[in-house]
Structure 1
Amino acid sequence: MTKPILEISKIVTQFQAPKKFLSPAAPPVTAVNEVSFDLAEGEVLGLVGESGCGKSTLAKTVLGLYREAAGDITLQGREVSGVDPRQARRLRKDIQYVHQDPGAALDPWWRVGGILDEGLRIYGVNDGKERERRIDEMLEAVGLAASFKRRYPHELSGGQQRRIGLARTLILNPRIIILDEPTSGLDLSVQATVLQLMRDIRDRFGLTYLFISHDLSVVRRMCDRVAIMYLGRIVELGKTEDVFAGPRHPYTQALLDAAPSLKAGQLERAEMITGDPPSVRKVPPGCAFNTRCKYAVEACAAHVPSSETVEGRSVRCLRWREIAADMKAAPAS
């Protein structure tokens, strides 16, 4: 990998609950807690975790929609953190976002051509012919004909809406694209088409992806590295093939065990993670996963584990060495 295009260091994102009349102010809720990672140019980094773990909040903090309470964000060697959201979005214009629900992100009263034209106007492209040329080029890049400019969002299928969302992002010439659940709600055949399109676009335009997904099979296929999040923290980060072949954090192992799979034409029984994720308002002391972890001991509830990096893999677990040894010694199923 080349020099990082994006560097995230100990980012914290908090939200303040509204104050009730004659009641003391509630403490802020920490949705992202000291998250650090680098993103190399041309890389696809997967971000995985259960709903509510902070994936989308982290992505919107990187984008500048949310303001970080602490930590540093460096984009192409330039510090872009510590400013108000409006200025942050201006400084981070090389980062763009593809929404999880493309239909909801497209104005139902505007035709596709107008939706794409709006972004170019906002970014200062005043020549009408140049805007028209770039719109046609982006539609062609995502596999749609120029005639789609005259359609409304409700006239498009889910896969076509995803393509329009990609076109609206690409038309602004970003360096980094954040893809939030880009295949959710799509048929398997459409998923495959959209994923291949994302690969082709990445190669054609030299893009870097931050890829948020619940689907482990998609992450395994698309991502160079994967980061596993739990209650606002990254608990494991490493090359995708290494993490899938030998998870070091018990939460990563639990996610992989919970994913259904087929063997010899039969659906294997998935091993579910016990219990529900704790609320971000009441994070358990020590390791946040200790209340659901089958490997937890007394020390896990007493100490917050720090992130330890060995051979390019980082893991946040007090007992990861013992767990990794147990996994290695366990007979293959």
Structure 2
Amino acid sequence: MLFISHDETLIERTANMVIHIEQIIRKTKARYTVAKLPYRRYVEERLHKFEIQKQRALSDRREKKIRDEKYQRVMQSVQGALRSCTRQAPSVAKNLKDKMHTVKAMERRFEKEDENMTQMPEQEEAIFVKLGDENSHIPAGKTVIEYELSKLVTPDGKRILAEGIHLKIKGSEKICMIGANGAGKTTLLKKIAEELLNRNDIKAEYMPQTYEDLLDLDVTPVDYLDKTGDKEERTRIRTYLGSLKYTPDEMEHPIRELSGGQKAKVLLLRMSLSGANVLILDEPTRNFSPLSGPVIRKMLREFPGAVISISHDRKYIEEVCDKIYQLNPNGLQLIGD
């Protein structure tokens, strides 16, 4: 059986062989790996190989620095001697010119050696952005929301999905709502988001399940994230997008041309830049690869504010969330903390 999945738990429990396709070198080159290994072992061996490659690359760079410094001293010595050499000593000048030819030949040899120098490993999961700061922390006694809804109905108002809903979140709690497909989780989260986004005592940010609900698809990621038009602000945004593995070309393309994962990263960066202390997330990990998933979970776990989310991702639920609520026709039931 051949299958494609972003579900790490499914892959770990079922796959005994991995075909891994990546885009590297700023997405100008494809790389693929075929490993006849269980997924978790493949990831561990991959990380081990990358660590060895990293150490070799660092060693090569240290040796290059020592070599280049020595070369510069020799070059400067020969150049200085040539400048001070008089015409009355032609034999000395000839010897110095021969030395200069030798030094330049060394330089050409070094350039060829540098072409074969061990490169730092490039990993698709490398994402360097942080969510929140010390100002995002919420005191443990502060009520983020105490939400009550007598009836949750479908968007068209024709069917009751749940009754007697009550949810109270305090401090920097991270909660996840689960439930069957069609139970009304997204509908409920939208209602909670509407209330929180209008509050002045907190700063909330929302990542919907359908990114197009929030993104302006006709503008570039830089234009979407730029709120001031300031040159320094745009440079900062480009730097952050680069840390999220965006190429310069992708930064200038309309958002509608980006993949689901790239759109998710735009919203992730928006949350990071906003200074939010409450994140409302509908399936936050669904468009990230299994190798990026652990990085995203770590970012959300370390976020100092509150998280209200929906997810089917078992690893996200286990690693990030303090409390788990199940939505059913009788409301929200706490099933794990």
| Larger-gyration structure (1/2) | 2
- TM-score between the two structures when normalised by the length of structure 1: 0.49
- Structure richer in helix, relative to its length: 2
Larger relative contact order (Cα-Cα within 8 Å, sequence gap ≥ 6):
2
- TM-score between the two structures when normalised by the length of structure 2: 0.49
